[in-house]
Amino acid sequence: MFETLRQSLKTGVVTTSYPLTPPEVSLRARGKPEIDWVNWRDARPAAAVCPTGAIECGDESAPNAARTTTLDLGKCVFCGLCAEADMAIRMTNQCELASVTREGLRLTAPANSSAAIANRQSPIADRQSAIRNPQSAINQSLLTSAATGRTGSVEAVGRQLQDRIQSVLGRSLHIREVDAGSCNGCEVEIHGLNSPVYDIERFGIHFVASPRHADMLLVTGPVTRNMELALRKTYDATPNPRLVVAVGACGCSGGIFGRNYATCGAVNTVIPVDVYIPGCPPIPHALLHGILLAIGRLKQVTVIKS
Amino acid sequence: MNATLEFAKLGNATSLPWADVPEWRADEFVAATATELDRGGRLCAWFGVPEGDGTRLVAVLAYDTDNTLAVGRSAPVKGRYPALTPRCAQAHLFEREVWEQHGLVPEGHPWLKPVRRDHGAGPAVGEFFRVEGREIHEVAVGPVHAGIIEPGHFRFQCNGEEVLHLEIALGYQHRGIEEALAGGPHRATLSQMETVAGDTSIAHATAYVTVLEALAGTEVPLRAQWLRALALELERLANHTGDLGALANDVAFLPTSAACGKIRGDFLNLTALICGNRFGRDLVRPGGCRHDLESVRAVQLLKKLRGAVAEVDEAAAWLWDANSVRARFEATGAVSAEQAVEMGLVGPAARASGLVRDVRFDHPAGWHRFAQIPVAVWPDGDVLARARVRWLEIQRSGKFLEEHLAAPPEGEIRAGAGQPAADTLAVALVEGWRGEVCHVALTGGAGRFRRYKIVDPSFHNWTGLALALRGQAISDFPLCNKSFNLSYCGFDL
């Protein structure tokens, strides 16, 4: 026992200070693909190599077809094949990609590209500033992703409800993880959250054994037909108010497997989803970001910092 | 029986024309397969290939001591055939699978029921083996479990605390992978192979590209074979370390659990250092590897590796030194060597029952033809043995990596992949961290997949877990389950 204590003292604290500091992700890690929309002339070569169809070409006959193209981070497996096929795409190591709407994961060209070029920095310039000053860019992205899809008076009620849920669940949260058809990759990373490195319990967040004890379902997919009923029952067994977070490319969109005779695809085809965390699998930082986003804790962190 | 007919011999990671695979009448084929298994063969794969309105049965066997594989097939058969299972128990799940996929009834199979598909009723709905008696109670667990694990259903027949029988019903993770491969390879195929079991990405991807390379006759550059072998051992290190931590956690020995949780992440990061992904996704490609490991990063990797291995060393030492841990591990969930042979167990589960069975040693392919790792064996078959085998393998994988990181072969990292030959069968075995990953591909006239069979080590080993539970306290189930740590999705496909 003394030996154990000695070693523990020698090792010291290994826990990351994320989200107060930027995620410790190596520069080689493949995160969000960034597109130089202005110089992206033809999206077809990149779309042709994408294994999950995350790049959807617009009208191919249009003079600048790439402008109408969508890159769907919910389908992306971050393999980087598109970046090999097309110089206009670059893989960054940005991993904080969670969104409160599915729509928020679809990247499109700025509405008016030429005006965009004149008025704001190009994506490449954004990225360069991000490298110079990572924290400001991250906070920016947190605020924008948190705000995505929350505009318009119709959604004001929804926003209030969301705020109330967050005030109820935001301080201490119990999570029930449900694997509804994943490859176990997401589970390995979710396990990582309980390790001393990420130590999710420092936020008052615990993984629990039953949906009846849970405030949040953390669901991985693609939801198989054989798990559809079990997932619905788990959702029904979770008391209100409850949050659902869809994890990974398969959970967000059906990912690598999509829909077939054996799978229903994305989690939101079976139960309503509050937050989407892209990745294949999302690294623990990305998971933490998504969970904290779901309970409104990221804004607090930003406020405390500023 | 045609006495002159023999199974066609082939080596690991090779192919042969479909026409050269010897053919028996179905009943004779079953008898011939049983004879081969009786004289020391092992069933790697048994599956159906539809032809006309019938189905051919195909058997892939391994003779571990002869470093040889063998393959044979039956003539197309319809309706029913005499089952292999009554003579060779290791065929029991394979025959249920063939029945489910092709509707062929193995006559005389003692427990014929679905493997993965639900037929509309849900996978665990249906008959379960039951023990009768007033004192007997039944415990049903799953599909949604208490931990962060995959879904599956376990049905225990108990007398008080004692488990008399455990039946395991899976299929919840069935994603239709084999079906999606028909007519392939497709654009998404490699990604799907890497997620057959996401914690075994390197082993399954390596088996898949090896099959493609055998079909196309591609000579893979040595440097790529070297890098694949390194990545495979890193995958083993990460998972074995995670397993030691999980075993410690299950007996509430938290120092090792916490330390291993951290170190597992360190090993995953080493894989990311090679290719940008913690699971090695997109490293292995047909014809080679997509990323190289330049000497600067190799040195970096070696330094970090030494640190991580030294840390596991300490964390494992705490585990072995704790009496409370030994008391829980020893004599819990024992599987005898006889049972392991009979059920055809593979990987650490087989080696923990004293079987010397390791694809890297028995059927070396790729880099393992030049560099072998001693097989880690422990005799007792209990939880302690399965933990010990993992520990030995951590040490040996660490040494292997140290040695080979220091001596990289020069040359290209990737060659042209080539076109798969038509009407050809190829077999690849890879020793993943759970055991033997077996991929078999059969191409049609255009060189596209006519049939693709994946056998994850878990397909062999789930029955081992069921056997380990006999006579155990039901409260030891989580510990026994963790000591096997089998894949649900790799089984369910």
- Could you read off the pLDDT of A55-99 as tens digits, one per residue? 888 766 665 656 678 889 999 999 999 998 888 889 998 888 999
Q: Could A196 and B262 be called an inter-chain contact, meaning their C-beta atoms sit closer than 8 Å? A: yes
Average pLDDT (A126-131) is: 37
- In chain A, which residues have their Cβ closer than 8 Å to the Cβ of B489? 181-184
Using a CB-CB distance cutoff of 8 angstroms, which residues of chain B are in contact with residue A247?
Answer: none
Q: Exposed/middle/buried for B408, CB within 10 Å: 0-12, 13-18, 19+?
A: middle
Pairwise CB contact (< 8 Å): A209 & B147: yes
* CB-based contact B261 A234, cutoff 8 Å: no
Task: Say whether B195 and A177 touch across the interface (CB within 8 A).
Answer: no
- According to DSSP, the residues that pair with B168 across neighbouring strands are B154
Confidence of residue B184 (pLDDT cuts 50, 70, 90): confident
Predicted pLDDT at A213: 92
The first and second tokens of residue B312, run together, are 């596991």
A124/A135 Cα distance (integer angstroms): 17
Which band of pLDDT confidence, cut at 50, 70 and 90, is reported for residue A269?
Answer: very high
Residue A72 contacts B, CB cutoff 8 Å: no
CA distance A236 to chain B (A): 13
CATH of domain B8-107: 3.30.460.80
* Residue contact B172–A224, C-beta within 8 A: yes
Range with the poorest average pLDDT among B3-17, B93-107, B258-272, B375-389: B3-17
CB spacing of B151 vs A3 below 8 angstroms: no
Distance CA A175, CA A182 (A): 18
What was the pLDDT predicted at B418?
86
The band of B110, judged by pLDDT with boundaries at 50, 70 and 90, is: very high
- Identify the band that residue A298 occupies on the pLDDT scale cut at 50, 70 and 90: low
Complex ipTM, two decimals? 0.91
Residue B404's pLDDT is 93
- pLDDT value at B114 more than 80: yes
Orientation of helix B457-468 relative to helix B92-102, angle to 10°? 130
Residue A304: is its pLDDT beyond 60?
Answer: no
Residue B5 has pLDDT above 90, yes or no: no
A16 contact B CB<8A: no
Are the CB atoms for A75 and A15 separated by under 8 Å? no
pLDDT in tens, B27-77: 999 999 999 999 989 999 999 999 989 999 999 999 999 999 999 999 999
Q: Of A117-121, B211-215, B290-294, where does the model show the most confidence?
A: B211-215
User: pLDDT at residue A218 above 50?
Assistant: yes
- Which of B151, B258, B273 lies nearest to residue A179, judging by beta carbons? B151
Nearest beta carbon to residue A190 from set B123, B148, B201 = B148
Kindly report, as residue ranges, where domains of CATH 3.30.460.80 are found in chain B: 8-107
Q: How deeply is A57 buried, as exposed, middle or buried, from its count of CB atoms within 10 A (0-12, 13-18, 19+)?
A: middle
Please give the mean pLDDT across all residues of chain B: 92
Nearest to B118 among A182, A192, A226 (CB): A226
Is A8 an interface residue toward B (CB < 8 Å)?
yes
**pLDDT, tens digit, for every residue of A41-57?**
788 888 889 999 998 88
**Displacement of CA B421 from its chain's centroid (Å):** 27
Structure-block tokens of residue A209: 């054994």
**Nearest Cβ partner for A263 among B175, B265, B279:** B175
- The CATH number that domain B182-457 falls under is 1.10.645.10
pLDDT score, position B202: 96
Instruction: Give the tens place of pLDDT for each residue, B208-241.
Output: 999 999 999 999 999 999 999 999 999 999 999 9
User: Which residues in chain B are contacts of A193 at CB distance < 8 A?
Assistant: none
Cross-chain residue pair A182–B144, CB shorter than 8 Å? no
Strand partners, B10: B69
Q: Which domains does chain A have, with CATH numbers?
A: 33-147 (no CATH), 170-305 (3.40.50.12280)
Do the Cβ atoms of A197 and B262 come within 8 Å?
A: yes
CA distance B290 to A260: 30
Q: CA distances (Å), A16 to each of A13, A25, B287, in order?
A: 9, 11, 39
| Residue entry with tokens 């490293």 | B283
pLDDT (average), residues B356-379: 92
Predicted pLDDT at A113:
52
Residues of chain B with CATH 1.10.645.10: 182-457
Q: How far is A105 from chain B (nearest CA, A)?
A: 21
Q: Which of A181, A195, A283 sits opposite B173 (nearest CB)?
A: A181
pLDDT of residue A10: 82
State residue A246's pLDDT score. 96
C-alpha distance from residue B484 to each of A181, B216, B395 (Å): 20, 36, 19
Tokens in use for A285?
A: 């930082």
pLDDT at residue A203, rounded to an integer: 87
**Mean pLDDT throughout B183-206?**
93
What pLDDT sits at residue A125? 38
- Confidence band (pLDDT; 50, 70, 90) for A282? very high
Across the interface, whether the CB atoms of B179 and A262 are under 8 A apart is answered: yes
Q: Rounded CA gap, A192 and A210, in Å? A: 20
Question: A154 to chain B, minimum CA–CA distance in Å?
Answer: 37
Q: What contacts A221, CB < 8 A, 6 or more positions away?
A: A180, A181, A182, A246, A247, A248, A250, A251, A254, A255, A263, A265, A266, A267
DSSP codes of every residue in B348-412: HHHHTTT----HHHHS--GGGGT---PPP--SS-SHHHHHHHHHHHHHHHHHHHHHHHSSPPPS-
The model's confidence at residue A133, banded by pLDDT at 50, 70 and 90, is very low
- Do residues B421 and B217 lie in contact, with contact meaning Cβ atoms separated by under 8 Å? yes
Query: Distance from B187 to chain A by nearest Cα, in Å?
Result: 5
Check pLDDT > 60 for residue B403. yes
Q: Is B323 helix (H, G, I), strand (E, B) or coil?
A: helix
- By Cβ distance, the residue of A30, A180, A184 closest to B277 is A30
- Which residues have C-beta within 8 Å of that of residue B38, sequence separation ≥ 6? B87, B88
Q: Which of A30, A79, A195 sits opposite B261 (nearest CB)?
A: A195
Asked if residue A122 has pLDDT above 50, the reply is: no
User: Who among B143, B146, B188 is closest to A209 (CB)?
Assistant: B146
Question: Above pLDDT 70, what percent of chain B?
Answer: 98
- What pLDDT, on a 0 to 100 scale, did the predictor assign at position A176? 94
Residues of A in contact with B241 (CB under 8 A): none
Chain A residues whose CB is inside 8 A of the B188 CB are 51-52, 256
Q: For residue B196, which residues of chain A lie inside 8 Å, CB to CB?
A: 183
Could you tell me what percent of chain A has a pLDDT over 70? 75
Whether B146 has a pLDDT exceeding 70, the answer reads yes
In 3D space, the residue among A46, A39, A42 whose CA is nearest the CA of residue A62 turns out to be A42
Pair of tokens at residue A55: 């790049």
Does pLDDT of A121 surpass 50?
Answer: no
**E strands in B272-372:** 284-285, 288-289
Question: pLDDT of A228-266, one tens digit each?
Answer: 999 999 999 999 888 999 999 999 999 989 888 889 999
Residue B360: CB partners within 8 Å, gap ≥ 6?
B368, B372, B373, B431
